[in-house]
Structure 1
Amino acid sequence: MTAPLYLRIRNDLEGRIRSGELPPGSRLPTEAELRDQYGVSRATAQRVLHELAQAGLVERHRRKGTFVTDGVRQENLLRFVNLRLSGPEIPGRHEVYSAAVVPAADVTPPVRELSGDTPVVYLIRRKFDTEDVPIGLEYHTVPFALAPRLLDEDLAHLTMISYFRREGVPIARSRMYLDPVLLDEHAAGLLECEPGTPVLRKRRLTWLEDGDLAESVAILIRPGVMELYLEQDVSAD
């Protein structure tokens, strides 16, 4: 399935940044220039630049423009639990490693909020940089009753929060956990690391309005590829 146009534009710009074609300090096209160059809407151009900024690849300055940053990839942790934002949990190319309906007892990491015999959609994806080096490993667990047609979706580009919104699933709140863990042999192989390597695991639990669990997401981040931070708008409304 062809990737959405905004994603192709974003990946093109990200590739040019990581290859050095657009070195630190380079000014990216404006929203108007992107619209003219690619024939897209203003909303699409805004989304491209916004997601590059969310990935820490560029900085946007009002009235000045958008510029390539100088440093490692960055990610705002608050984005991971913001139910109002769209876009992937970690921006960039995803590869579906496996996708199946299994009992909750068979998923990793365990989801204590679900009984072991609950049927769930279990999705494992790898995240790559532009040089095809794996930088993250994602585990998604969703009760099958909430998403019986989920496996029919374009799983490489799927964003669960957006999917829930589109399907009318009444999600209400999310919580994030940060856990230091050691890579087991299977995860280490997928991330091309040594078993036992210490990594940071981000976990997000999302609940429905009635308090039942809607999803569990766990992301293992390869060491040395990403700088995590917390930032929020504290300006007056």
Structure 2
Amino acid sequence: MATPAYLRIRTELEQRIRSGALPPGSRLPTEAELQQQHSVSRATAQRVLTELAQAGLVERHRRRGTFVAEGARQENLLRVVNPTLRGPEIPGRHAVDSASVIPARDADVELPGVPDDAPVNQLRRLKFDVDDNPIAVELSAVPFSLAPRMLDEDLAHLTVHDYFARTGVPAAKSRVYIDPVLLDEATATRLRLAPGGAVIRLRRLTWLTDGKLAEAMWHIIRPDLVEFFIEQTVLSTPDS
């Protein structure tokens, strides 16, 4: 028995949302666009979007369109740790909170192996949802000697690992630590939350091929809006 068209289309969109391929805030095709793309009736296209909304995966706004809901956000931890990443670690709009060159001792993240008086680029950004509410604070510190012109970049859209690849910085491996922490007052203010609440901090260290530190960074993310996962295939490979 053939799968109904509405179910096939809905399942495809749901899989893309849950996998992170369509991150929160992403605009879905309109009813008319679904009709054209899949050669279905308006009623079928309308049913697809209505059922996704009923499942809490999308939000429909009159005259604006249909967008992936924040409650549907799932973040793949393997994406955060990947040193070859070419897109933002956390998809969505970013805004620069501060950017400066400071001594390593004054950085808001520990930089193992970096001398206290060594200059580092420190970049702090906010991540927003589709309604422009802050959902995460991101802080990155990179030794100035590796990236003396990093702060000249378009910092709202900068991905540090991509910048390393473009400028020939030989990043080799990354490790992510998952830390439960209490919100300090400054971060709570940025996230519009009360201080002292429990949150998740993803802390990442990236090293060069020679073993020296390339970057130390963290994300502090609202736990009520994000679900983390790691996906691993259990299928056998031809060589196994």
**Is the pair's TM-score, using the shorter chain for normalization, greater than 0.5?**
yes
Residue 89 of structure 2 aligns with an amino acid whose one-letter code is E
Q: Which residue of 2 aligns with 1:156?
A: 156
Percent identity over the alignment is 53
Query: For residues 196 and 107 of structure 1, what CA distance do their matches in structure 2 show?
Result: 22
Change over 3 Å in CA distance of 1:127–1:13 after alignment to 2: closer
User: CA contact under 8 A between 2:120 and 2:141: conserved in structure 1?
Assistant: yes
Q: Which residue of 2 aligns with 1:14?
A: 25
Q: Which residue of 1 aligns with 2:76?
A: 76
Give the CA RMSD over aligned residues: 3.0
Q: Structure 1 segments of 4 or more deviating over 3 A?
A: 10-17, 26-30, 68-71
What pairs with 1:213-232 in structure 2 (closer than 5 Å)? 213-232=213-232
Offset of residue 22 of structure 1? 6.5
Change over 3 Å in CA distance of 1:13–1:123 after alignment to 2: closer
Residue 182 of structure 1 aligns with an amino acid whose one-letter code is L
User: CA contact under 8 A between 1:92 and 1:127: conserved in structure 2?
Assistant: yes
Q: Which residue of 1 aligns with 2:207?
A: 207
Query: For residues 115 and 174 of structure 1, what CA distance do their matches in structure 2 show?
Result: 20
In the alignment, does 2:174 pair up with 1:174? yes
Q: Indicate the structure (1 or 2) with the bigger Cα radius of gyration.
A: 2
Offset of residue 86 of structure 1? 1.5
User: CA contact under 8 A between 1:11 and 1:92: conserved in structure 2?
Assistant: no
Residue 161 of structure 1 aligns with an amino acid whose one-letter code is H
What secondary structure is seen at the aligned counterpart in 2 of 1:14? coil
> Structure 2, unaligned stretches of length 5 or more?
1-20, 38-56, 59-67
Q: Which residue of 2 aligns with 1:63?
A: none
TM-score calculated relative to the size of structure 1: 0.71
Query: For residues 23 and 224 of structure 2, what CA distance do their matches in structure 1 show?
Result: 23
Query: For residues 143 and 232 of structure 2, what CA distance do their matches in structure 1 show?
Result: 31
Aligned residues: 188
Offset of residue 29 of structure 1? 8.8
User: CA contact under 8 A between 2:83 and 2:206: conserved in structure 1?
Assistant: no
User: CA contact under 8 A between 2:173 and 2:207: conserved in structure 1?
Assistant: yes
Query: For residues 218 and 118 of structure 1, what CA distance do their matches in structure 2 show?
Result: 20
> 1:71-96 CA distances to partner (integer Å, 9 max, x unpaired)?
62101111111123321010000000
Offset of residue 118 of structure 1? 1.0
Change over 3 Å in CA distance of 1:70–1:155 after alignment to 2: closer
